[in-house]
Amino acid sequence: MVFRKLMAAFGAGVEVDTVLHDSNVRPGDILRGEVNFRGGSADQRIDGIFIDFTAKVEVESGDNEYNATYSFLHQAVAGPSELPAGNARSVPFEIQVPWETPISAIGGHPLRGMRLGVATELSLAGALDKGDLDPLFINPLPAQEYLIGALSRMGFGFKKADLERGTLRGSSMPFFQEIEYYAGHEWRRHFNELELTFIAGPQAMDVILEADNRGGFLSAGGDTYSRFTVGYGDNPAGVEQTLQNALQNMARRRGWF
C-alpha cells in the first residue's frame, strides 16, 4: 500500500490523500485505489479529480540531453461535485494499466534507471493542482520475463534501463524503453552491448533488438537491428530459439558467422 499526503489546495484547506491498493502491477492489469479528500473551513466546488500516469524520459536536443516528465495516461475518476466545509469523501477507482507501459520492476525490485509514478490532480475553482508522485512498479508480463531470463542465460548482463523520447512503428506511446545489456559468453565476440525494447499488446508483443557490434580487422563496427513478434501463448522453447536465431542473424550481418 502506498499512502501520500498530496496537497492543501489554493489555501482552501482541501486535503487529498491517494491510496494504491497494490503499486506492483503488470501491463494490462487493473490498478485499484481510492482518493480520499476532506473539505476545509468553507464550502468548495470540485470540478473533477484525475489520475495521471507519468514517466521520466530522456530527451535529446542537439548536443544536449535532459530528463523530462511525460504523462502517458490521464483519466478522470470523479466529476463535478460540491464539497461542504469539513466534509470527508472517498472515491474508489479502477484503471487499466496500458499494455505498452514500460517495465520498472522485476520480481518486485525497482529496475535501475526507471521512474514511473501516479499523480492525483484536483480541479478546484477552475485550476488544476497536481500532488506528488506515488511510485508505480510495473513488473514484466510472463513472456517479457521469460525473454529477460533467456538473455541472462545466454550471458548478457544487465546494464541499465531508460526511456527515450520518440514513437516507434506499431506503438502509440510518446517514448520507448531500452533495457541495456553487456554482452557475455560467446556473444562478446560479436557485440559490445545489446538493447531490448518491447511493444506489448493484449495478445502479443513485438520484440526489438539493437546491437552495438564490434568492429573487425576488415570491417567497422555499427548497429544492427532485429524485430520479431511473440504471442503470449507461444511455446517458451520456441520463443528462446527465435531469440537465439535473431542474435545469430544480427551477428551474421557483420560477417562473424
Based on the fold, state whether residues 32 and 156 are members of the same structural domain.
Answer: no
Provide the domain limits for residue 78: 2-138
Based on the fold, state whether residues 246 and 182 are members of the same structural domain.
Answer: yes
Residue 160: helix, strand or coil by DSSP?
A: strand
pLDDT at 125 exceeding the cut of 80? no
Does the residue 164 lie in any domain? Answer: yes
Based on the fold, state whether residues 127 and 152 are members of the same structural domain.
Answer: no
| Domain boundary pick from 115, 138, 161 | 138
CA distance 196 to 143: 14
- Domains: count for the chain: 2
pLDDT at 15: 78
pLDDT at 9 exceeding the cut of 50? no
DSSP state of 217: S
Based on the fold, state whether residues 134 and 186 are members of the same structural domain.
Answer: no
Based on the fold, state whether residues 157 and 75 are members of the same structural domain.
Answer: no
Based on the fold, state whether residues 130 and 153 are members of the same structural domain.
Answer: no
pLDDT at 218 exceeding the cut of 60? no
pLDDT at 5 exceeding the cut of 70? no
Does the residue 109 lie in any domain? Answer: yes
| Domain boundary pick from 75, 108, 138 | 138
CA distance 12 to 104: 36
| pTM summary value | 0.86
Mean pLDDT is highest, among 31-45, 128-142, 154-168, for: 154-168
> Of the given ranges (70-84, 88-102, 146-160, 216-230), which has the lowest mean pLDDT?
216-230
> Of the given ranges (47-61, 88-102, 134-148), which has the lowest mean pLDDT?
47-61
Based on the fold, state whether residues 97 and 163 are members of the same structural domain.
Answer: no
The CA radius of gyration of the chain, in Å to the nearest whole number, is: 22
CA distance 180 to 43: 52
Based on the fold, state whether residues 134 and 177 are members of the same structural domain.
Answer: no
Phi/psi-derived region of residue 236, left when phi > 0, alpha when psi is between -120 and 50, beta in every other case: alpha
Based on the fold, state whether residues 121 and 160 are members of the same structural domain.
Answer: no
CA distance 120 to 187: 45
pLDDT at 221: 45
Does the residue 165 lie in any domain? Answer: yes
Based on the fold, state whether residues 18 and 63 are members of the same structural domain.
Answer: yes
Based on the fold, state whether residues 180 and 133 are members of the same structural domain.
Answer: no
Does the residue 122 lie in any domain? Answer: yes
CA distance 208 to 165: 16
| Domain boundary pick from 100, 120, 138 | 138
CATH at residue 11: 2.60.40.640
Average pLDDT over residues 82-87: 85
Based on the fold, state whether residues 52 and 126 are members of the same structural domain.
Answer: yes
pLDDT at 242: 97
Does the residue 257 lie in any domain? Answer: no
